[in-house]
Amino acid sequence: MLARAEQLLADLGETFWLLPMLLVLRSLSGAFALVHIDRSNVSLADLQGWLYDGGATGARTLLGTVAGATIGVAGTVFSITIAALSLAAGQMGPRLLRNLIRDRGNQATLGMLLGTFCYTLVVLRSIRTEAEGGFVPHLSMSVRILLALACVAMLVYFVGHVAGRINVETVIELVSEDLGGAMRQLTVKDPQPKPPPGEYWTGSLPLKDSRRGYLQHLDEEGLATWAAKHRVTIRLLIGPGDYVFPGATVALVNPPVDGAEAAIRDATALGATSSIASDLRFAVRQLVEVAVRALSPGINDPHTALSVLDRLGAALCDLVPLHLPSGVSIRGSQPVLVVPHVQYDQLLGTMFHMIRQSAGAQPAVSIRMIEVMTQVASCERDPARLSALSSHADLVLADAHRLIDARSDREDVEGRYQLFTLMVRAGPMGRFTEEILPLPDDDAPKLNAESAAFRSRR
């Protein structure tokens, strides 16, 4: 149940209509409150110089004019938003639409205009001419004039805001901030326990799930508590962001126990898409999609891909002091739950594989990719992570030898690869030593072993 509650709250946070609805409700309540004050005998003598002092006919004309203009501008704002969404979907990918839809500036502008329109209607219905009893809500009318001025300012803000938000560099920076937030939320500072060995699951009961969709939320704490209470160990075969196929095995339970399937269903919530709140790869894929589209023949914008690579490298540098969760929950001294979470090598694959494959014969992208890996290696000293980085650098070098025809371009890639190799082996001082104190010719083949191996295969 907790997973479904978290999913509901996340869905509400992603909706476009929630903030405008709240602003409309606030405007309605404010209108009724101000009209009530105008009808009461509260003295407003100190504000007489600031309040609207026209008659009922003038008030109705003013409110009718402003109401029509406000709802017309609201329609224009909505049209501009749709046009911006269409442009972003065509150039940067439809998955980035969520960033524009959940943008608080767009929501606040639409909510302000609609709220002001509803406020105007409430105040308009309260006005009475002398023949009808004579009532003009002077305070409410004055506030309405202030709201009209605020709408003008909001419209000016909206035009500049939308123009900035559909800029590709701004979109990349916003998605990078999402990635940074997800990384802070989904990583830990302490080393994680290792999962039980494979033979531990011998004799386990496989559990299937008839549902379909992406695993958006998982109540690990609740499921681990249930497993500890029943003295079993559960190994989920699906992790946050994975797709659940109907009828496929989703978990193993050791020893077999009744009720495990229902407990897993209660602790999981599926959806039509993955969620950035639980899947670190989702935020990475958004950045990668921008780069892949930029490298497509129809757009051919390698500079955007270079910007994406810079952000990915910065994210990996932020990850240096942190640990990715192993997904192992311990109760007492026994593991009770094992959940597959993304690991470092998988994260690198999500970041670099599609960009490398899409870059093809563009040496600038290959060079920048190795340069980014070099910068990450300069602050990363974990051997396993450096080994994973080296594997991807090898792939970049192999593609360069296979796809890049110009010899000078291949040599540029090889030169960056050698600097990366020095960085991995000796840290930042390795590059310094290589530049200031050139190595003897006898040692050069050792540093170029990988490059020579690739050349020999050609």
Rounded to whole angstroms, the Cα distance separating 359 from 301 reads 11
What confidence tens digit (pLDDT) does each residue in 360-383 have?
789 999 999 999 999 999 999 899
pLDDT for residue 47: 62
Spatial distance between the Cα atoms of 2 and 7, rounded to a whole number of angstroms: 9
Render pLDDT for 285-306 as a digit per residue (tens, 0 to 9).
Answer: 988 988 998 898 888 889 999 9
Task: Indicate the helix (H) or strand (E) that contains 178.
Answer: helix 168-186
Backbone φ and ψ for 214, nearest 5 degrees, come out as -85, 140
Residue 302 CA to residue 300 CA, distance in Å, equals 6
- Among 90-99, 185-194, 265-274, 420-429, the range scoring the smallest mean pLDDT is 90-99
Weakest mean pLDDT among 99-103, 105-109, 145-149, 204-208: 99-103
Q: Which pLDDT score, from 0 to 100, does residue 49 have?
A: 58
Q: Is the pLDDT of residue 187 over 80?
A: yes
pLDDT band at 442 (very low <50, low <70, confident <90, very high): very low
Residue 374 to residue 390: CA distance in whole angstroms? 10
Are 165 and 171 in contact, with CB atoms under 8 Å apart?
yes
DSSP-assigned beta bridge partners for residue 269 = 217
Q: Domain-by-domain residue ranges, the chain?
A: 2-166, 360-458
Which of 258 and 88 is assigned the larger pLDDT?
258
* pLDDT for 45 beyond 90: no
* Predicted pLDDT of residue 357: 93
Tell me the two tokens of residue 8: 């509901």
pLDDT score at 332: 83
Could you tell me whether strands 233-236 and 334-338 are parallel, antiparallel, or unpaired per DSSP bridges?
parallel
The long-range contacts involving 251-255, CB below 8 angstroms and separated by at least 24 positions, are 251/206, 251/207, 252/201, 252/204, 252/205, 252/206, 252/207, 253/204, 253/205, 253/207, 254/200, 254/201, 254/203, 254/204, 254/205, 255/203, 255/204, 255/205
CA geometry: angle at 63 spanning 76 and 75, to 5°?
Answer: 10
Q: What angle do CA 245, 247, 248 make, to 5 degrees?
A: 60
Residue ranges of the alpha helices (H) in 198-323? Answer: 220-229, 260-267, 280-294, 302-318
Amino acid letter for position 421: T
A 10 A CB-CB count for 458 gives 6
pLDDT of residue 448: 47
pLDDT at 57: 87
pLDDT at residue 436 in the model: 41
pLDDT confidence of residue 433 = 59
Distance CA 216, CA 275 (A): 5
- The per-residue pLDDT of the chain, averaged, comes to 85
pLDDT band at 444 (very low <50, low <70, confident <90, very high): very low
For residue 42, name the pLDDT band (cuts at 50, 70, 90).
Answer: low
Write the CB contacts of 214 (distance below 8 Å, at least 6 apart in sequence).
Answer: 241, 242, 243, 244, 270, 271, 272, 273, 274, 275
Res. 162 pLDDT band, cuts 50 70 90: confident
- Yes or no: say if 268 and 220 are a contact pair by the CB < 8 Å rule: no
pLDDT at 340 over 70: yes
**Run of H or E including 70:** helix 56-92
Better pLDDT: 3 or 193: 193
Residue 440: per-residue pLDDT = 44
H/E stretch holding 111:
helix 104-126
DSSP for residue 204? P
What digits encode the pLDDT tens for the residues 25-39?
999 999 999 988 888
Contact residues for 236 (Cβ-Cβ < 8 A; gap 6+): 218, 250, 251, 264, 327, 337, 338, 339, 340
* pLDDT for the residue 441: 43
Segment 46-101, tens digit of pLDDT? 566 567 777 888 888 988 988 898 888 888 877 877 777 777 666 666 666 666 77
Record the pTM.
0.79
